[in-house]
Amino acid sequence: MSTEAPEPDEVTGPWWDATRRRVLLVQSCGACGHAQHPPRALCVGCGSGRDLGWTEASGAAEVDACTVVERAMPGFDPPYVVARVRLAEGVLLLSNVGAADPYRVGVGVPLRLDWRPLPDGRALPVFIPSEE
């Protein structure tokens, strides 16, 4: 898989920093309670940017939709699973699901959080089927 480290910005910095501690953050709005991903400079629920904070995700999740990528792309090693993962906190993340058999990953499969280290100490949140 690609090890190129994405460049954070002033809004996403805390999210990426938390990955150094292997903590998955979800941005949440203190004004209206909305949770969102990716992190933004304002809340898309109420439009306010004044009371945005972070909550720690439990790591529990399930597959919303997924695909097994079979065609090679530079830096990636097919076949691998790309999935829309729904966290227990409600938000969707794009991620990979590392499964012994990628073709058995389907809608609703329960997942647990895992981490793929990046060269600079940060890490990408990825997922594994709970039963594996």
Nearest distance, CB of residue 132 and another protein, angstroms: 19
Between residues 56 and 77, which has the closer beta carbon with respect to another protein?
77
CB of 62 to another protein, least distance (A): 13
Given CA atoms 68, 8, 19, 51 in this order, what sign does their dihedral have?
A: negative
| Tokens 């647990």 sit on residue | 112
Beta bridge partners of 56: 25
HSE of 22, CA atoms in CB hemisphere, 13 A: 8
In angstroms, rounded to a whole number, what is the distance separating the alpha carbons of residues 1 and 131?
23
In the complex with another protein, which residue's Cβ is closer, 21 or 71? 71
Least distance (Å) from another protein to the CB of residue 92? Answer: 4
Give bridge partners of residue 129 from the DSSP assignment.
Answer: 111
CB of 17 to another protein, least distance (A): 13
Copy the structure tokens of residue 93. Answer: 């993340």
- Partnered with residue 82 across adjacent β-strands are 67, 96
Nearer to another protein by Cβ, of 21 and 44: the residue is 44
Nearer to another protein among residue 32 and residue 94 (C-beta)? 94
For residue 105, the minimal CB distance to another protein (Å) is: 10
Residue with smaller CB distance to another protein, 38 or 53: 38
- Distance CA(129)–CA(109), nearest Å, equals 7
Binding site for another protein (CB under 8 A): 1-2, 4, 6-9, 12, 16, 37-38, 40, 64-71, 73-76, 80, 82-84, 91-96, 103, 106-107, 124, 126
